[in-house]
Each structure stands twice: as C-alpha cells, then as structure tokens.
C-alpha cells in the first residue's frame, strides 16, 4: 500500500532531491507539492517545484503558499542555494502553472477529504501552521507530520542557536510543535550524518538520465558552501532524510521528547529546545531522530533517483 503525502517545500537543492525521490517511488503517492517562501522567495520556489515535477514526468499538482513568515520578515539563503534556489540543475523554465488554490487552503481541503495524509514539510512551517490555525479540525486527521528542521546537540546553522527552517518562521514552528499531531523531526544532529561524498555525485552522473545529471549538478553546486563551512569530506543532505524515513524507517534511530521553539529572545529565536534528558517532566510531543546509517541512506537516495528513465 502506498503512503499518501503532501510535500511542503522551499526548493532548494536538497528539497529538490527529496521531491524527486518521492515522485520516483512507487511506495509513495505524492498528492501535491505545496510551496513556501524560505530558501528563496516566492515565486521562485513555486517555479522550481513546477520544473521538478516536469523533470519527473508527472502531473503532480503544485500549489503556491505563503510569501512570508507569520510574524517576521522573510530571511532567505541564496548564499547557499544560489539566486534561483536550484542552481546547478540547468532545468528549462516550467510550462505548467500552479493550481488556483492557495497552499494553505489546499492543505486544509486534502486533510478534511482524505483521512490519514502525511505532511512532509522540508522548509519553514508557515503553510502548515497557517492551515492548523485556520482549521484546527484537520489535526486529528493528519497521520504524521515529518519535518526536517531544528537542532539540539549540533546547535544552529543560521545562528548559533537556530537551524534555518526554524529560524525563518519560529512562530509557525511553535504552532506545529504544540498542535498534538504525530510529529517526527529530522534535526541537524541526524542530517549532518547524511553526507554527500564525491563518489555519490559520480554515481548520480553514471545513471545516464536527466534526473541523475540534474541531481549531480545541483548537489555539486550546493555542497560547496557546507564543505567550506564545516571542513568535512562531504556535505549534509538534509531534506531527503524525510523521504528516506518514509521508505525505510530502519535507517534512523530516534527518541520521543518534548520540543518547543524559542520565539521570545532575539539572541536565541528559532532555537529548538529539545528535552532530551527529560528534565522538565513535560510530555513528549515529537520523535526526534538522532542517528542515520549514512551510507545506506545515500544508497537509498540513489536507488530512488535511478528509477527515472534514460533520456
């Protein structure tokens, strides 16, 4: 049985790989891709999502979502992703258009109409939080929210305290943390174990497909920033962890803990406060992943991208 999901993304090269993995997999039914401003502004993220759907050869609908965070000005990351968000992909401009519905309204509609949809946000949580605030009755109908965001032992990658997705819209993140839907989080602590190495890029290129070449090009561009920043042999591949988890949960290890997001202090705003050692006595509200088998993870990413046909 396939798992019905909606991907909420701000592509972003790592978002792009997550989207392509999900679209390629026969085990996942991607009902739609909804877009949120984050790595780059709207409408760039929407154009990127449309281009990726066309690259995948599917007719998956795309819905444009929020253009800014709930309460703060938008902070973007062209310094990582390039001015388009998916630099290195070399994709033609999309022919298709986004659906007429706003992403928030689509999320509400699909959750009300289809019990048990999994939401997979791999960017700021603005759309998800706005849907919950606008129509709280969707919460018990959500099977699981699977989010890439936050950091605990690793701290932050955007400020000393905050990971990018949490930092961009901390108020939305706190809404989602407190919504009572089943929640699984992939923080920097686990994604920094999922490293793109030079041989992985060569394996993508060796597929001999447009998808393989596009992924290799995107990741070659994308990893330059993190290689310089962290001084590691490979760069972390964040967002595809969510899709790999849906396909093979055994790749990961985690723990149920209580998580809150700091919204009051400018010094630590966006910090994901994870009660790993259960010192507060508060009830766990999320499963936070802390370990991944990095080589098996990359094997799975490459295997899914390899499903796309030859030119």
Read off the pLDDT of residues 98-125 as tens digits, 9 standing for 90 and up: 999 999 999 999 999 999 999 999 999 9
The predicted structure's pLDDT at residue 80: 95
3-state class percentages of the chain: helix first, strand second, coil last, to nearest 5: 40, 20, 40
Question: Nearest 5°: CA angle at 160, between 159 and 162?
Answer: 55
The predicted structure's pLDDT at residue 210: 96
Whether residue 43 has pLDDT greater than 70: yes
pTM of the entire structure? Answer: 0.98
Give the number of domains in the chain. Answer: 1
Q: Per the domain annotation, does 26 fall within a domain?
A: yes
Annotated catalytic residues are 238
3-state secondary structure of 71: coil
Whether 123 and 39 have beta carbons less than 8 Å apart is answered as: yes
Q: Is 168 exposed, middle or buried, given 0-12, 13-18 or 19+ CB atoms closer than 10 A?
A: buried
Q: Per the domain annotation, does 218 fall within a domain?
A: yes
Which residues, 6 or more positions from 264, have their beta carbon under 8 angstroms from its beta carbon?
none
Rg (CA), the chain: 18
Whether residue 41 has pLDDT greater than 90: yes
Identify the CATH number of the domain in which residue 100 sits: 3.90.245.10
φ/ψ (deg, to 5) at 104: -60, -45
The predicted structure's pLDDT at residue 232: 86
3-state secondary structure of 234: coil
> Rounded distance, CA 294 to CA 300, Å?
10
Whether residue 310 has pLDDT greater than 80: no
Q: Per the domain annotation, does 310 fall within a domain?
A: no
Long-range CB pairs of 50-53 (<8 Å, 24+ gap) are: 50/94, 50/96, 50/97, 50/98, 51/86, 51/89, 51/91, 51/92, 51/93, 51/94, 52/11, 52/16, 52/19, 52/20, 52/23, 52/86, 52/91, 53/19, 53/23, 53/94, 53/96
3-state secondary structure of 91: coil
The predicted structure's pLDDT at residue 1: 78
Using pLDDT thresholds of 50, 70 and 90, give the confidence band for residue 226.
confident
Q: Per the domain annotation, does 311 fall within a domain?
A: no
> Rounded distance, CA 55 to CA 243, Å?
18
Q: Per the domain annotation, does 239 fall within a domain?
A: yes
φ/ψ (deg, to 5) at 290: -130, -15
Whether residue 71 has pLDDT greater than 90: yes
3-state secondary structure of 291: strand
CA dihedral for 108, 134, 175, 283, sign (positive or negative):
negative
Question: Nearest 5°: CA angle at 161, between 159 and 162?
Answer: 65
Whether residue 311 has pLDDT greater than 80: no
Q: Per the domain annotation, does 254 fall within a domain?
A: yes
For the segment 199-218, the average pLDDT, to the nearest whole number, is 97
Whether 61 and 50 have beta carbons less than 8 Å apart is answered as: no
Across the chain, mean pLDDT equals: 97
Q: Per the domain annotation, does 240 fall within a domain?
A: yes
The predicted structure's pLDDT at residue 263: 98
List the domain range (segments joined by +) for residue 152: 3-305
Whether residue 298 has pLDDT greater than 90: yes
For the segment 68-89, the average pLDDT, to the nearest whole number, is 97
Percent of the chain with pLDDT over 90: 94
For the segment 61-78, the average pLDDT, to the nearest whole number, is 98
Lowest mean pLDDT among 109-118, 222-231, 294-303: 222-231
Whether residue 154 has pLDDT greater than 90: no
Whether 242 and 136 have beta carbons less than 8 Å apart is answered as: no
pLDDT digits (tens, 9 = 90+) for 252-279: 999 999 999 999 999 999 999 999 999 9
């Amino acid at each position: 049985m396939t798992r019905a999901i909606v991907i909420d993304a701000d592509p972003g090269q790592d978002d792009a790989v997550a989207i392509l993995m999900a679209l390629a997999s026969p085990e996942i039914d991607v009902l739609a891709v909804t877009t949120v401003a984050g790595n780059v502004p709207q409408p760039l993220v929407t154009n990127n999502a449309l281009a990726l759907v066309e690259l995948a050869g599917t007719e998956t609908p795309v819905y444009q979502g929020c253009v800014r965070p709930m309460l703060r000005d938008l902070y973007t990351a062209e310094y990582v992703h390039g001015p388009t968000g998916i630099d290195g992909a070399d994709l033609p401009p999309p022919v298709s258009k986004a659906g007429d519905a706003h992403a928030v309204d689509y999320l509400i509609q699909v959750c009300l109409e289809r019990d048990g949809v999994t939401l997979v946000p791999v960017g700021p949580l603005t759309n998800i939080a706005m849907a919950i605030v606008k129509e709280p009755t969707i919460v018990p109908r959500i099977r699981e929210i699977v989010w890439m965001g936050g950091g605990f032992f690793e701290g932050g990658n955007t400020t000393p305290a905050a990971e990018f997705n949490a930092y961009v819209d901390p108020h939305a993140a706190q809404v989602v943390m407190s919504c009572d839907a089943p929640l699984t989080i992939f923080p920097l602590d686990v994604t920094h174990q999922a490293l793109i190495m030079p041989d992985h890029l060569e394996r993508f290129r060796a597929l001999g497909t447009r998808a393989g070449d596009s992924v290799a090009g995107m990741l070659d561009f994308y990893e330059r920033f993190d290689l310089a920043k962290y001084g590691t042999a490979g760069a972390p591949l964040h967002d595809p962890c969510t899709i790999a988890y849906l396909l093979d949960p055994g790749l990961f290890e985690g723990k149920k803990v209580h998580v809150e997001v700091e919204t009051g202090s400018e010094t630590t705003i966006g910090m994901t406060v994870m009660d790993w050692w259960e010192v507060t006595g508060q009830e766990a509200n999320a499963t936070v992943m802390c370990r991944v088998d990095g080589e098996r993870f990359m094997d799975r990413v490459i295997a899914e991208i390899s499903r796309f046909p030859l030119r």
